[in-house]
Structure 1
Amino acid sequence: MMKMNVKNVLCVAILIAISSVNCLGKTAHKSALLKYDKQIDGIIKQMTLEEKINMLHAKHMFVSAGVERLGIADMIYADGPFGIREEMQPDGWMPLGWEKDKATFFPTGSALAATWSPELAYAYGTGMAREARLRGKDMILGPAINIQRIPTGGRTYEYLSEDPFLSSRLSVGYTKGVQDNGVAACLKHYALNNQENNRGTVNVIVGERAMREIYLPPFKAAVEEADAYGVMAAYNKVNGWWCAENDILLNKILRDQWGFAGMVISDWNGTHSTVDAITNGLNVEMPTQKYLGKALLDSVKAGLVSEDIIDKRVREILRVRLAIKPIPKEEANQEMTSQPAQQKIAYDVACKSIVLLKNDGSLPLDLSKKPVIAVIGANAKQTMGLGGMGAGVKTLYEVTPFEGLQNKIGDKAELVYAKGYEPIVFNFADFFKKKTPEELEKEAREKEITAKRLAAEAVDVASKADIVLFIGGDNRAVESEGRDRKDIKLPSGQDNLIQAIAKVNPNIITVLTSGAPNDLNVVKPISKALLISWFNGTEGGNALADVLVGNISPSGRLPFTLPIKLEDSPAYALGNYPQGKKGADVFADLVSQTEKVEKSKDDGSEKELKNDPNTAIYSEESLVGYRWFDTKNIPVMYPFGYGLTYTNFEYADLKTTKDTYGKDDVITVSFKLKNTGSVAADEVAQAYVHRINPSVEWPNKELKAFSRVTLKPGESKTVKLNIPVKNLQYWNEATQSWADDLCNIELQVGANVSDIKLQKKIALM
């Protein structure tokens, strides 16, 4: 791991700022949007300066203006990445109370990532686009593709993975699915929005190599391979510059190097300037016009901004507008948003996302003797479409775990429910109002009384049951936009509750409905079986029940590492997070119309910066997630890529087409995979690369290919994986370009990052 300090990072930033060299020394990706430029030339010639500037800021909360005089429709945005948000007042947050805006709640980001399926990501994008079109939307604010840097991240459930390769494959699938169906995708949040605490003020100090190799690849892949039409600039700063006015990110990398031809919008209230924002690459200020409205018009008239820059930004918007056919207002919102085809997609994703972590044979459930099953836990009946701050989904329906069990079990068992604990409930006022000591003491007493009563009821129910299904985990109030969790412990005293249950009934199967890592030190040893079923959408309860009763075999794989303890995670182990006291949240301020938070400071020594809540130093560099644990030999609870099924698989006969590969070659790996059990199931075969004699520092191994394979009992298949040698390059900070590290490598194929079945050494020359 390279040593990083603040001065080096800032020097690198200066180097990038004066360099617009294409990173691979080749022609940048050529977007299909460029075909509209001749038509746009004629449109721009007819526009007044005022009309141009009117396109560069919000018209309403989720609308930016077109030019009615010229037949250019407004741009209408759909929030958010896992379901089309309900219709609201044009310039507020109050819902309109319509019926037909009830949408399909798709499994959230970490659930999609747990499928390890680009094909399902494409289907997911297709479903989202279909429902957006029914609602008359032009651009979906998604996918959300930031790297999961910290286990406590408030939006970990929205994001895909801790690994850039897995995230990239899914980002490309999602984006293509959306745009192939007539809606623009807006990649977010660009870039390095890896925490929620102080996200509106924090300055991320990151080395160029880590930024290029870990944090930017999902965005790069979605632009170059899926031709993404939109990008949302993040709230935070990167190396001293706000993302919405960051010339390095928006112009030099996104547009010049990757060939992005579309439009960049700010996150809501994420714009901080007029001249820098418009010059350095922002197209639309949302949801206001404080900086890119009259202030911009005045700046052009004063000669501070050239009209050529205005024309350039308008052109980028018009490309997207001409590519996306607007839905006439009278045709939108005529049908129910949620449709059966999309509900089926949500079910398919949910089924293949559920991760089985432990099973002593208790699963699938044996219903032959009509057992009494105690279903304990508030999450058994908790819906997850709404809750917390930020985008949610007003669902047409959402099948809870308890409902799913009723649907799939019927009269084959007796289901008895006990709530067990009181769930955390989101209260927007908690972001702003500090409770008095007296209020806190009263609240604590009431919670203690309730907890004792609910626990006693649960223990009583458990003592009379044959099987206990404990359904706990987090909820959308615990994992929320606007704030990170303080720890990864199960909330609401769930550890104490399950220990009490275990004393009266040891036959416990635990299901955690969480979108992010939890501490499993208590539940793992006292659970006969242990699963993660995520915030799994409209059909989540049916999918979970199908897995529990054995209608399908679980096939999800962890998209992140589950640590033994939070403090083992890299940002925590190095003291990089948390940086200090949490301040007010920029989005919460917008919704509540409170005063904006104070801007961060960029100066100070590294020691001082580490204590500055508005500075995040990424000194772990490339050792994020499993790269850290694997390289440092730190044991984990469950490794990246882990997941069990109801069968076993056998790996054999690893081959490559050659023993030596050149820098322009593609490494083709093949091996035999056999289902040696008695049920059909999917295996996710994963290929990692370990450098043997590199010229630069690397993590111990990195994921570079994977494949989800369906096998019947006894069936064998030859699996082929391709790894382009160019995908093994590193970012050379000295030359500001991608460089080859042609060394000997070991290909490692297995079931997860810690369970390598086959190895083969080859040479890169």
Structure 2
Amino acid sequence: MKNSKKICLVVVCCVLFFFKNNIQAQQFSEIQINAKIDSVLSLLTLEEKVAMCHAQSKFSTPGVGRLGIPEVWMSDGPHGVRGEINWDDWGYAGWTNDYITAFPALTCLAATFNPSIAKAYGISVGEEAKYREKDVLLGPGVNIYRTPLNGRNFEYMGEDPFLASTMVVPYIKGVQQNGVAACVKHYALNNQELWRDHISVEVSERALYEIYLPAFKAAVQQGHVWSIMGAYNQFRGQHTTHNEMLMNKILKEDWAFDGVVISDWGSTHNTKEAALYGLDMEMGTGTDGLTTSTQNAYDFYYLANPFLKMLKEGTIEEAVVDDKVRRILRLMYRTNMSNNSSFGRINNQEHLDVARKIAGEGIVLLKNKNSFFPINPNKEITIAIIGENATKSLTVGGGSSELKAKNEISPLEGLKNRYKNATIIHAKGYASGPSQYDRVVEPTDDLENLKKEAIEVASKADVVLFFGGLNKNHLQDCEGGDRQSFGLPFGQDELIDEILKVNANTGVILVSGNAVEMPWVDNVSAVMQTWYLGSEAGNAMADVISGDVNPSGKLPFSFPKKLTDNAAHSFGEMSYPGDSITQYYKEGILVGYRWHETKKIKPLFAFGEGLSYTNFEISNIGTAKKTYSKDEEIVVSATVSNTGNFDGLEVVQIYVGKSKSKVERALKELKGFKKIMVKKGESETVEISINVNDLAFYDETISDWNLEKGGYVIYVGNASNNISKEIKISIQ
């Protein structure tokens, strides 16, 4: 027995030495990894195990130097790798080699309705994280868009769980093929920033399973994500970062998640719950402010000395910390202890091309009266570019997703580069003040003069392009607070009205991650929703405005006409924002377009809506048969014809509704989509498969999914409000 133990120790030490000296090896199988983890675990002291479960700096956890176990380094980065942060505080380290490519915000990615481009996004941002020597990229975010006031909606993938699920999986796979872990966030129900650190969400189990969990489930079971971040808020009175139901029951037991649960920064609140209810790595806890003022402050974290004390006393079994360390070691074997020898890439032309393509495919044309767009780039005309968002940097700000881009092409710069024959005149028009994370800074500009200048410039132009919307300042599209009104800020609505009095030939280009109220929509010639587009923002906008790129984006969330038309707001303050202690998701499963359609409340612009410079017709729509059984695939086929004058991309969308259901259902729900290129004058055939099992609802009476028999309706179109054909089928 003694000899066998010695042999085991020798083998383990050889393996550790092997990695410590960066010797190349074959990729380990999961069985081999588990065997190595067990061997390493036997060499660790209790103190070393506990140390691996909490931070040693703002963005790293310690390794075990004597065994060659490396540190784990993380970075914010759903839209690009964040600039380097100081060891102990939130200040930037002042490096000169941490500039990166800024990719479009995830709302834009969702608007592409293109999973292949999501894969390219993941690969590119993963390569940049690898170059920056990050082991975990803290993103993507898949919290559901519930209210247009949520300051963090721009980081997420819209209001529909099927869309978010479909887009998140290739993103994850793209990131992780670089040997960098994606970290899907924020699990779960983090659907507002106001009171996010303590508000307790009360939601039905059906809504939880049907609306708020599917994208996380897809990330785990289809994307095989290696880490997940807990959220700040509570669910039914227990913080989600260490929530017995969410973490133990659903994530680790039902979904068999084998990765690491990482706290959001400061979302841990209790040692025993953190230990027993699923948290593996504790980050960012400000225990009595000690992380900035006391030596060895990280030892005061909940999963640090207090955890060690409970383990030594026997209050918590050592098997609990062993499970956490196993998961952490598995993460390391997948990242910084794998044989993936790539050095990554950063700020290369290929990444800029990917960013520009995503931006171009995600821009959504919402109104285009008399073919206002595209604007001929060869025409000798005068174009007035009005609005702060035409020149303001929108890669900085917004909270933890802010970026240190090497370059950022502004809309004004992009249009000047493309429109060489035009006379371009610019006026700021309005001002918002400097970007701040946690406070509103009043502008120092003379606002009345800005307004007068804009009106004068507009009067001299053939065409006016108003660049408005929101920005990434506090109480706009920004972490840490919600918007305080649905209308455009900084006097933009009034300015647009004044501009229209002197020039009716005006198009509005909105830059935002949220829906906004549009009292002027009937009076302007065109409306374009452009999101936060990153490094190539101006070039991508010019691509679409000029017609070099035919717009193909579709809205990933509904634009209500007024705030109370939104489901969450229709039920009053206890539905949103709550009373600071509790809130109730009274709309249940009827989120977004489900609410608008079921309750017959017409939105301003509908989910899935988006115009093109060409015309598409969807015809020959059908299914192979009309009756199906469990586990079968329903294959919907259609012909998409381009009858216009531009080549273009179109998104065929499949929705399904259940007639005469025994439970409340939405009129219809997205169950499939496909984006295809169709050249002008040509047609393409598309087939989209839907598994019958995916038509089930979550039955609270049995705490499981239930597939109802009977009649269903399949809706086929190119937007939730533009259906070409309905097909009736039945499920046996």
Q: TM-score, normalised by structure 1?
A: 0.88
The superposition leaves residues 287-330 of structure 1 with CA deviations (integer Å, 9 ceiling, x where unpaired) of 244200000010011111100111011101111111113599x9
User: SS at 1:277's partner residue?
Assistant: helix
Instruction: Give yes or no for the alignment of 1:276 onto 2:286.
Output: no
Out of 420, 423, 434, which is 2:432 matched to?
A: 423
Distance verdict in 2 for CA 1:669–1:331, change over 3 Å: closer
The 5-angstrom pairing of residues 521-536 of structure 1 reads 521-522=519-520, 524-536=521-533
User: d(CA) in 1 for partners of 2:267 and 2:64?
Assistant: 25
Instruction: Give yes or no for the alignment of 1:686 onto 2:697.
Output: no
Out of 365, 373, 380, which is 1:356 matched to?
A: 365
Residue 393 of structure 1 corresponds to 403
Residue 451 of structure 2 corresponds to 455
Distance verdict in 2 for CA 1:655–1:32, change over 3 Å: farther
The superposition leaves residues 167-186 of structure 1 with CA deviations (integer Å, 9 ceiling, x where unpaired) of 00011111111112211010
Contact 2:505-2:524 within 8 A present in 1 as well? yes
In the TM superposition, what is the alpha-carbon distance from 1:369 to its structure 2 partner? 4.2
CA RMSD of aligned residues (A): 1.9
The 5-angstrom pairing of residues 304-703 of structure 1 reads 304-325=315-336, 337-360=346-369, 361-410=371-420, 412-428=421-437, 430=439, 450-477=446-473, 478-522=476-520, 524-576=521-573, 579=576, 612-703=579-670
The superposition leaves residues 614-656 of structure 1 with CA deviations (integer Å, 9 ceiling, x where unpaired) of 2111111100010001100001100000000000111111111
Contact 1:100-1:337 within 8 A present in 2 as well? no
User: d(CA) in 2 for partners of 1:221 and 1:160?
Assistant: 13
User: d(CA) in 1 for partners of 2:537 and 2:572?
Assistant: 37
Contact 1:101-1:336 within 8 A present in 2 as well? no
User: d(CA) in 2 for partners of 1:574 and 1:286?
Assistant: 36
Out of 718, 724, 729, which is 1:751 matched to?
A: 718
Distance verdict in 2 for CA 1:661–1:266, change over 3 Å: same
The superposition leaves residues 260-281 of structure 1 with CA deviations (integer Å, 9 ceiling, x where unpaired) of 1000010001101111111111
Distance verdict in 2 for CA 1:257–1:428, change over 3 Å: closer
Out of 300, 316, 327, which is 2:311 matched to?
A: 300
The superposition leaves residues 128-178 of structure 1 with CA deviations (integer Å, 9 ceiling, x where unpaired) of 100001000001000011001111110010011100000000111111111
User: SS at 2:534's partner residue?
Assistant: coil
Distance verdict in 2 for CA 1:231–1:747, change over 3 Å: same
The superposition leaves residues 679-736 of structure 1 with CA deviations (integer Å, 9 ceiling, x where unpaired) of 1011111000011122322111000000111110011111100000111111121222
User: SS at 2:656's partner residue?
Assistant: strand
The superposition leaves residues 163-211 of structure 1 with CA deviations (integer Å, 9 ceiling, x where unpaired) of 0000000111111111122110101000000000000010000110100
Contact 1:422-1:492 within 8 A present in 2 as well? yes
In the TM superposition, what is the alpha-carbon distance from 1:388 to its structure 2 partner? 3.5
Q: In structure 2, give the amino acid aligned to 1:451.
A: L
Distance verdict in 2 for CA 1:331–1:112, change over 3 Å: closer
Distance verdict in 2 for CA 1:577–1:496, change over 3 Å: farther
In the TM superposition, what is the alpha-carbon distance from 1:668 to its structure 2 partner? 0.5
Which runs of 4 or more aligned residues in structure 1 lie more than 6 Å from their structure 2 counterparts after TM superposition?
A: none
Contact 2:437-2:478 within 8 A present in 1 as well? no
Distance verdict in 2 for CA 1:327–1:689, change over 3 Å: closer
Q: TM-score, normalised by structure 2?
A: 0.91
The superposition leaves residues 490-535 of structure 1 with CA deviations (integer Å, 9 ceiling, x where unpaired) of 111011111111111111011011111111122x122111101110
The superposition leaves residues 342-367 of structure 1 with CA deviations (integer Å, 9 ceiling, x where unpaired) of 11111110010000001121111134
The 5-angstrom pairing of residues 705-720 of structure 1 reads 705-720=672-687
User: d(CA) in 2 for partners of 1:494 and 1:546?
Assistant: 25
User: d(CA) in 2 for partners of 1:155 and 1:429?
Assistant: 13
Contact 2:80-2:102 within 8 A present in 1 as well? yes
Which segments of 5 or more consecutive residues in structure 1 lack a partner in the other structure? 1-30, 436-442, 581-609
User: d(CA) in 2 for partners of 1:745 and 1:345?
Assistant: 40
Out of 192, 210, 214, which is 2:211 matched to?
A: 214
Contact 2:696-2:706 within 8 A present in 1 as well? yes
Q: In structure 2, give the amino acid aligned to 1:74.
A: E
In the TM superposition, what is the alpha-carbon distance from 1:424 to its structure 2 partner? 4.2
Contact 2:574-2:582 within 8 A present in 1 as well? no
User: SS at 2:78's partner residue?
Assistant: coil
Instruction: Give yes or no for the alignment of 1:142 onto 2:153.
Output: no
The 5-angstrom pairing of residues 178-197 of structure 1 reads 178-197=175-194
Deviates more, 1:694-703 or 1:217-226: 694-703
Contact 1:34-1:261 within 8 A present in 2 as well? no
Aligned residues: 687
In the TM superposition, what is the alpha-carbon distance from 1:743 to its structure 2 partner? 2.1
User: SS at 1:165's partner residue?
Assistant: helix
Distance verdict in 2 for CA 1:306–1:340, change over 3 Å: same
In the TM superposition, what is the alpha-carbon distance from 1:426 to its structure 2 partner? 3.0
Out of 54, 57, 61, which is 1:57 matched to?
A: 54
Q: Identity of paired residues, percent?
A: 42
- With CA pairs under 8 Å and 6+ residues apart, which has the higher RCO, 1 or 2? 1
The superposition leaves residues 725-762 of structure 1 with CA deviations (integer Å, 9 ceiling, x where unpaired) of 11111112122211111221111001111110011111
Which segments of 5 or more consecutive residues in structure 2 lack a partner in the other structure? 1-27, 286-297
Residue 591 of structure 1 corresponds to none
Residue 92 of structure 1 corresponds to 89
User: d(CA) in 2 for partners of 1:267 and 1:33?
Assistant: 28
Q: In structure 2, give the amino acid aligned to 1:488.
A: F
Q: In structure 1, give the amino acid aligned to 2:483.
A: R
In the TM superposition, what is the alpha-carbon distance from 1:92 to its structure 2 partner? 1.5
User: d(CA) in 2 for partners of 1:736 and 1:33?
Assistant: 32
Distance verdict in 2 for CA 1:229–1:672, change over 3 Å: same
User: SS at 2:604's partner residue?
Assistant: strand
Distance verdict in 2 for CA 1:262–1:759, change over 3 Å: same
Distance verdict in 2 for CA 1:541–1:326, change over 3 Å: farther
User: SS at 1:423's partner residue?
Assistant: coil
User: SS at 1:638's partner residue?
Assistant: coil
Q: In structure 1, give the amino acid aligned to 2:449.
A: R
The superposition leaves residues 48-91 of structure 1 with CA deviations (integer Å, 9 ceiling, x where unpaired) of 00000000100110001222221211111011211101112111
User: d(CA) in 1 for partners of 2:76 and 2:65?
Assistant: 24
